[in-house]
Structure 1
Amino acid sequence: MGWRIAGGQVLQDGTLDPGELHLAGGVIAKAGGGRSFDATGLLVMPGLIDIHGDAHERSIQPRPGIGFPMGFAVRDAASQLLGLGITTAYMGVTLSWEPGLRSLEAWRGLMAALDAAKPAIDLRVHLRFEADNLDALPDALADIAAGRVHLIGFNDHTPAILKKLGNPKEVAKYAGRAGLTPEAFRTLIEGVAAKRGEVPATRRKLAEAAAARGLPMLSHDDATLEDRALFRGLGARICEFPMAEEVAADARAAGEHVVMGAPNVVRGGSHLGWASAAPLAERGLVTVLASDYHWPALLEAPFAMARRGKMSLAAAWDLVSANPAAAAELSDRGRLAEGLRGDVVVIDPAGPHVVAVFCGGELAHLGAGGARRLG
C-alpha cells in the first residue's frame, strides 16, 4: 500500500516548501496511490537518525538493582524511540569490565533480545567498547563478524573513574550501577588498571575486525590532538564528544564528522561543563547531534537551534538526519528524495510534537490528532 502525504511543508533539497510526498514500495516515490495523510499545518521531515543513544539503559535498569527482562526493555525502548520520530536508532551499548548493567552478561542478553525483536524502526547497535574490557574481546569480535554490530566506539572511562576514587559519592554511584559494595568496586578497578598495558593491542584487534566488516568507527571524549590522531590512525573517522574546541577543529579540517549531544543544545550547555554544542554547530565545528542520554532532546534540538536565529530549521535538521546518515555511511536515508527509504516524521511545530511516523514507507505511529488526518 502506498501513501500520499499532502498539505504540509515538506523538507526537500534544503528548504521547507508546501508540497506533497509519495511513499510506495518502502521508498519515496515520484507518485503513487493508496491512502492519504492530511499534513495541513504540519512539517513533513526526514526521520530522525540517532547514532548514539543510551537511554535504553533506563528501560533495562530504571534504578540500581531494579532490572527488567531484556526483551521487554527492547520493546519499550523501540516504542519510545518511534514516538519521538526516531526511525533509525543506534543503541549505544557499553560493553564494560563493570558487572551489572554494562557487563558481558548484559551484552549477551541484549544481543539475544535484539535478535528476537522485530521493531518498526531500524534498531542498530553502537558498540561502546571499554578499553580495559580484555575478557570481553572474543565476544565483541564474534558479534562484529556475525553482523550484530553496526558502529564501533572506542571508550576509555577507566582513567576518569580512577581519579574519582577519593570521592565516596562518585564511588557509590559506580558501585551501585555495578551492583557492588564501594570496597568491592575499588578492588575491581584497581585490578583492571593493573592491565592497562594490554589496551593498545586490544584496540588494534577491534579496529581490524571493524575494518574487515566495513563498519564506521568513532572515538569518544578526545581530550587532545594526540587522542584524535591515535584514533584516526585506527580508522575512526567520527569524533564524538570532543573535550576541546581545537580537537573538533582538527577533525573538521580532516573532513571528519563531529558529534555532540542534543541535550547540550536543549539545555544551553554541557552537563559536564564542556563546550556548548549550539555555537560550535553554527560555526560548522559540530556536524551531528545525538540523543546521548535523553531521546526527546533529539527532536527538540533543531527547533532550539532555529530559535537562536543563526540557522534555519531546514539547516538544523541536517544535524539530526542527513549528517548522521552520512557519518554512519547510510546512503539510503536522511533526506526526502526519490528512491530513498520512506522514513518520514510529520511534526506539529507548535510543540513540537510528533503527529505521525512512517518507517520504510509504512505508517508506524500516530500521535495526538493523527488519526483524524487519515484518508
Structure 2
Amino acid sequence: MAEQSATVIEGARVIFADRVATASVRFEDGVITAIDGARDGATVIDGRGFLLAPALIDVHGDAFERQVMPRPGVGLPIAPALLETDRQLAANGIATTYHALTLSWEPGLRSVANGRAIVEGLRDLAPRLTVENRVQLRWETFCFEAIELIEAALAGPLAPSIAFNDHTSMALLDPAVPMQDRPFDQDPNFPVVDIDSPAFEGKMEERAKRSHMTKQDFVRLIRNIWDRRPEVPAAIAKVASAGRARGVPMFSHDDSRTETRDYYRGLGARVSEFPMNLTVARAAREAGDILVFGAPNAARGGSHLGSPGAADMIRAGLCDVLASDYYYPAMLLAMARLKADDVAPLEQLWPLVSGNAARASGLDDRGVIAEGKRADLVLVDWPEAGAPAIRRTFVAGREAYRAIPAG
C-alpha cells in the first residue's frame, strides 16, 4: 500500500472511549498519530459541526443477499453484487464487515456452491473493495458438505469468524413449542413437527423458492437431511476444532437454553449471537461471554421475532454488540434511537458498534479513537433532533466514502 500523507480532522466533536469532546485527530499511513497535535503540513479537514467517531464494525450482516438475489429465485452475478454491497457498507460508515454467509444444505442462495463463489469473489475483488470485507462462516450444522470450504476459508488471508447455526431443527420444531424456548437442538426428545402436514409444507414455501425447488421437493429434501441428526455432534466438534486451531472468534446463534450456550462455550464459542430469552442472556453474562443483538431490534424499539428488546438488554448490561443483521443503516439508526431514548450517553453507546465489536472479533487494532489505533473513522452530520448521516468514511486512513450535501 502506498504511503498516505498526513491528515488532520479539526473542530469535530470526537467520540473517545470515556467522553465526547471537541478535538483534532491526526492520522497518517493508516494510523492515528496524534490527538490535538500539530498540523505540520497535513491536509486539514474542517470537522466543525460534525461528529467524528470510530468507524462501524459489523460482526453479522446478511443484507448482501439482497444484491445476490433481490427476489426469491432471481439471482444476479456475484462480482457486481459484492461491489454494490461494498459501496453500501462504506456509505453507512462500516469499515470492517463480516458477511453472514450461510452455508447450508439448501440449494440456491445459501448453498455451499454459492458460498464458495462469494468467498472466492471477495478474494478476487479485494484490491477494488473500499472497506474490509470478511466473512462470518454461518454454518448450518447439518451441512457436512460445507466443512471443506470452512477449512479453506480459515486458511485465507483475512481470518473469518464461525457461527454455529441450526435452522434445520428450528424448521422442524413442533409449532406448539415457542421458538424462543425450544429445547437444546441435540435433545433426544426434541419435539418435531408432523413433516407430512399441509401446514409444514406451506411453512417451507419461501425456503423452497429461495432454493429453486417445489414445496414438495423441498420437504423431501429436509426429511432426508434430518436423518443426519446422529452425525451432527461429530461434525460440530470437527469445525470447532478447526476454528480453535486458527484462533478465530466463534459464535452460537439463536441460543434458547443455557444448555445450548454451555455446549458451544465448551467448544470455544464465547459469543452468544441473538440469544432468544433473558435466562440465556443472563447465563452468558455470568460466564463472561460476549452478547450480540440486532441493530434493527434497537432501531425499531423491539424484536420482530418476540426475542428480548435490545434497548432493554443494554440497560440491563446484557448487550455488548449491535450487528446490522439484515439492514446496514440500522447500526447508525440504533445509535440515534438509543441516544434519543436516553438509554446511555453516546460514548457508552458507540462501543456497541465499534470497540466492543472489535473485541468480539479479536481485532485489537481498531474500534476506538486513540493514538496507535487504525484510522477507521466516520464523520457524521448529526443536527440536534435530526437524523444522522455519514459524510465521510475512512478505512485505515484511506477515504472510502464522501458525500457532499446540496446545501
Class of the TM-score when normalised by the shorter of the 2 chains:
over 0.9
Task: Answer yes or no: is 1:156 the counterpart of 2:192.
Answer: no
Post-superposition offset of 1:349:
1.1
Map 1:255-270 to 2 at 5 A. 255-270=288-303
Task: Answer yes or no: is 1:184 the counterpart of 2:217.
Answer: yes
Q: Could you tell me whether the CA contact under 8 Å between 1:11 and 1:46 is conserved in 2?
A: yes
Q: Could you tell me whether the CA contact under 8 Å between 1:127 and 1:152 is conserved in 2?
A: yes
CA deviation digits over 1:102-161, x for unaligned, max 9?
Answer: 001101111111111131211111000001001222222232234565100000000121
- Residue type of the alignment partner of 1:133: C
CA deviation digits over 1:59-111, x for unaligned, max 9?
Answer: 10000121111111110110000000000111000000000000011011111
Post-superposition offset of 1:285:
0.4
Partner of residue 92 from structure 2, selected from 69, 84, 87: 84
Q: Distance in 2 between matches of 1:329 and 1:246?
A: 26
Match of residue 22 from structure 2: 18
Post-superposition offset of 1:214:
0.6
- Residue type of the alignment partner of 1:162: L
- Residue type of the alignment partner of 2:32: I
Identity of aligned residues (%): 40
Post-superposition offset of 1:204:
0.5
Match of residue 225 from structure 1: 258
Moved more, 299-308 or 191-200: 299-308
Match of residue 188 from structure 2: none
Q: Distance in 1 between matches of 2:158 and 2:373?
A: 23
Partner of residue 398 from structure 2, selected from 343, 346, 362: 362
Match of residue 276 from structure 2: 243
Match of residue 333 from structure 1: 366
CA deviation digits over 1:216-267, x for unaligned, max 9?
Answer: 1010011001000010011000010001111111111111110000000111
Q: Distance in 2 between matches of 1:217 and 1:282?
A: 25
SS in 1 for 2:172: helix
Map 1:49-68 to 2 at 5 A. 49-68=57-76
CA deviation digits over 1:305-363, x for unaligned, max 9?
Answer: 11111301111101100101111111000000101111000001132000111111122
Q: Could you tell me whether the CA contact under 8 Å between 1:9 and 1:19 is conserved in 2?
A: yes
- Residue type of the alignment partner of 1:170: K
Partner of residue 130 from structure 1, selected from 121, 124, 140: 140
What stretches of structure 2 of length at least 5 have no aligned partner? Answer: 176-194
Q: Could you tell me whether the CA contact under 8 Å between 1:145 and 1:209 is conserved in 2?
A: no
Partner of residue 131 from structure 2, selected from 121, 135, 138: 121
Q: Could you tell me whether the CA contact under 8 Å between 1:95 and 1:107 is conserved in 2?
A: yes
SS in 2 for 1:315: helix
Post-superposition offset of 1:36:
1.4
- Residue type of the alignment partner of 1:77: T
SS in 1 for 2:348: helix
- Residue type of the alignment partner of 1:161: A
Q: Could you tell me whether the CA contact under 8 Å between 1:127 and 1:149 is conserved in 2?
A: no
Post-superposition offset of 1:35:
1.4
Q: Could you tell me whether the CA contact under 8 Å between 1:59 and 1:76 is conserved in 2?
A: yes
Number of corresponding residues? 371
Q: Distance in 2 between matches of 1:107 and 1:149?
A: 16
Q: Distance in 2 between matches of 1:262 and 1:196?
A: 33
What stretches of structure 1 of length at least 5 have no aligned partner? Answer: none
SS in 1 for 2:344: coil
Map 1:282-297 to 2 at 5 A. 282-297=315-330
